[in-house]
Structure 1
Amino acid sequence: MVATHPASRVALLFTGSRPDVSMKLIISIVVYNWEADVLRSSLVALSRSLDVADSREELTSCELWLSYNGPGKLDEIESTNLVQGVFSWPYRLLLQQPNLGYGGTNNLVLRNRVFTDKALDPGKTAILVLNPDVWPEPDAIAIALAHLRSDPQVGLVCPRVLDRDGEVDTPGHKRYPSLAVLAARLLSPLMRIAAFRHLNERYEYRDTSLAAARLGVELCSGCFLMARYDYWKTLNGFDERFFMYFEDFDVALRGVEHGWAHLYEPSVRILHAGGGAGQKSWQHRGWFVRSAWTFFSRHGWRIWRV
């Protein structure tokens, strides 16, 4: 279903002057647990960040694809009213999507809707894959788009990720993992051992300044994947062998294989409510272990070194 919006918003999007270098942004959000209050507040933050990008002429237009792949059937009218009441940009709400995992459900939008759209200009289009429990700060999207516009070697922009209160860094950019560091993150008592804490610090780039931009980071968190259209199209989206976890790391490594650089930009700030696998249920830990096996089998095993 396609949302309807006030004529003033449509006019703002499609009339008036825009520099040729401004970009169209396509956003894909997959929701499994439909928590109305969380989703409502995150869409408010997203809409505000889009408004800032528009005011800075970094954005020509935007379209949000919001897919629900969770259990049970949502009320179509209530769901539409929730989104339309807080999100002031064009969107499409896809209810009752099959649960193909995080990457697989996003691929339904990327492969079946976005990559087949012949009207898109690949050189002037960016795609943001976003978690529903993420709150971009007002200028986050504008800054990310500006980097993609101005530096052709940058394929993907990694944000500075903070906790829900905006006080604690929870880095989304990481180095290539080892079995040891993943074990420590899955089994938190191991973090009491100094050697494991040191590994985790390197894994999260905490041995560098989180306040400084860094070109060439290895991996980026899937909670906010802002990349060029060509980046996503070349990779054909996510590898669906990863039902949950590591699909984002796989994307990043394949992006590097195709010659793209990843930029960690700390001024692109987001708040994220999600927790690590060690804080999840045993089912999630099982998915984590299976996906880790798939990841290392494809990209190479490391026992200790990060």
Structure 2
Amino acid sequence: MFNISIVTYNTSKTMLLKVIKSIINAEGLNLIYIVDNSDNENIKNFLPNVPKIQYTKSPKNGGYGFGHNIAIDLSLKNVNVKYHLVLNPDMNFNHIIFKEIKKYMDENPIVGNLMPKVLYNDGTVQYLCKLLPTPYDWIGRRFNPITSIIESRNRYFELRFMDYNSIMEVPYLSGCFMFLRLSSLKKIGNFDENIFMYGEETDLCRRLIDGGYKNIYFPNVSVFHEFQKGSHKSLRLTFIGIKSAIYYFNKWGWIIDKKRREINRYTLEYLNTVR
């Protein structure tokens, strides 16, 4: 069995009900945790009144990882639940994808985290498989006015030289859809709650690698993501993103990060063998 958590913050009714419709009838689904970081309980009023949906009002808006940790902790208490899906509310897909995802995870116990192919609504691919970031990747690119340099770096950092149609082991996957093995989280811990938003998935992916697990991109199934770069539009979110980056690099290393270089080098060498 598996559980799903969706963290909301003044999320629209249309968006939330759409993603719930995508997942409510999934085979093997135990519970959907709606963790509400909003300053009110308006979301609770329009949620379907069904046993599989559990609404939880967060004691504070502690961020994305903080909210999901509330649900993950509940999943960890249930010995019958093997996996936990961290899911953005702006997702849409057919619930039959879980059959293939669970089959792959069951057959590959070394996989701690899986992400399917993620598409924009027009069907184009979102490049969400990445190397472990350098300070330039997270901070420098944002302020670089030279488009050609950014595009050149993105081809490398976001692994755009791959066709995104093959299963890949990569060090850093998006937090919009993280199908996590609970036994791996028991070993490495949940999201780092010192990161409010932006980068909590990077930190978790890296700790999974340190724990001996793999982050797998699984394009055999696909999902749609109404991706919006909020941090590029809001000064407040830009500040949060920079603050998260500073914390992350203080934790793992700025320029001198031998393990990052080793992991990224291994990834590029490995990908050259599967192209």
Normalising TM by the smaller chain, what interval? 0.7 to 0.9
Alignment match of 1:142 (pick from 86, 90, 99): 99
Pair 1:46–1:187, CA change in 2 (3 A): farther
Residue 154, structure 1, aligned to residue 111, structure 2: yes
Asked whether the 8 Å contact 1:65–1:94 carries over to 2, the reply is: yes
Alignment match of 1:200 (pick from 142, 154, 164): 154
Task: Letter of the 1:25 partner, please give it.
Answer: F
Per-residue Cα deviation, 1:222-246 (whole angstroms, up to 9, x for no partner): 1111011112222221101101110
Alignment match of 2:12 (pick from 27, 35, 41): 35
Alignment match of 2:128 (pick from 172, 193, 210): 172
Asked whether the 8 Å contact 1:47–1:89 carries over to 2, the reply is: no
Tell me the C-alpha RMSD between the 2 structures: 2.2
Report the Cα distance in structure 2 between the residues aligned to 1:46 and 1:189, rounded to whole angstroms: 41
Task: Letter of the 2:177 partner, please give it.
Answer: F
Pair 1:195–1:75, CA change in 2 (3 A): closer
Per-residue Cα deviation, 1:103-125 (whole angstroms, up to 9, x for no partner): 112112223x232x2x414xx61
Aligned partner of 1:4 in structure 2 is none
Asked whether the 8 Å contact 2:139–2:242 carries over to 1, the reply is: no
What is the DSSP-based 3-state SS (H/G/I as helix, E as strand, rest coil) of the residue aligned with 1:242?
Answer: coil
Task: Letter of the 2:176 partner, please give it.
Answer: C
Aligned partner of 1:12 in structure 2 is none
Task: Give the structure-1-normalised TM-score.
Answer: 0.77
Task: Letter of the 2:132 partner, please give it.
Answer: Y
Q: CA deviation at 1:97?
A: 3.9
Residue 83, structure 1, aligned to residue 51, structure 2: no
Report the Cα distance in structure 2 between the residues aligned to 1:166 and 1:47, rounded to whole angstroms: 24
Q: How many residues were matched structurally?
A: 258
Q: CA deviation at 1:286?
A: 0.4
Per-residue Cα deviation, 1:220-279 (whole angstroms, up to 9, x for no partner): 111111011112222221101101110000000000000001111112311111323553
1:87-106 aligned within 5 A: 90-95=52-57, 97-106=59-68
Alignment match of 1:209 (pick from 154, 158, 163): 163
Residue 228, structure 1, aligned to residue 196, structure 2: no
Residue 290, structure 1, aligned to residue 255, structure 2: no
Report the Cα distance in structure 1 between the residues aligned to 2:181 and 2:234, rounded to whole angstroms: 34
What is the DSSP-based 3-state SS (H/G/I as helix, E as strand, rest coil) of the residue aligned with 1:259?
Answer: coil
Q: CA deviation at 1:151?
A: 1.1
Asked whether the 8 Å contact 1:175–1:217 carries over to 2, the reply is: yes
Task: Give the structure-2-normalised TM-score.
Answer: 0.85
Aligned partner of 1:181 in structure 2 is 137
Asked whether the 8 Å contact 1:185–1:276 carries over to 2, the reply is: no
**Which residues of structure 1 form unaligned runs of 5+?**
1-23
Per-residue Cα deviation, 1:169-208 (whole angstroms, up to 9, x for no partner): 1122211112323346534744x2x232111111111111
Report the Cα distance in structure 2 between the residues aligned to 1:208 and 1:75, rounded to whole angstroms: 40
Asked whether the 8 Å contact 1:158–1:172 carries over to 2, the reply is: no
What is the DSSP-based 3-state SS (H/G/I as helix, E as strand, rest coil) of the residue aligned with 1:226?
Answer: strand
Report the Cα distance in structure 2 between the residues aligned to 1:136 and 1:188, rounded to whole angstroms: 35
| Moved segments of 4+, more than 4 Å | none
Asked whether the 8 Å contact 1:180–1:196 carries over to 2, the reply is: no
Aligned partner of 1:14 in structure 2 is none
Report the Cα distance in structure 2 between the residues aligned to 1:294 and 1:168, rounded to whole angstroms: 33
Asked whether the 8 Å contact 2:8–2:36 carries over to 1, the reply is: yes
Alignment identity in percent? 24
Q: CA deviation at 1:131?
A: 0.8
Report the Cα distance in structure 2 between the residues aligned to 1:176 and 1:71, rounded to whole angstroms: 34
Asked whether the 8 Å contact 1:160–1:270 carries over to 2, the reply is: yes
Report the Cα distance in structure 1 between the residues aligned to 2:223 and 2:143, rounded to whole angstroms: 27
Report the Cα distance in structure 1 between the residues aligned to 2:85 and 2:109, rounded to whole angstroms: 17
**Which residues of structure 2 form unaligned runs of 5+?**
265-275
Asked whether the 8 Å contact 2:10–2:43 carries over to 1, the reply is: no
Pair 1:141–1:92, CA change in 2 (3 A): same
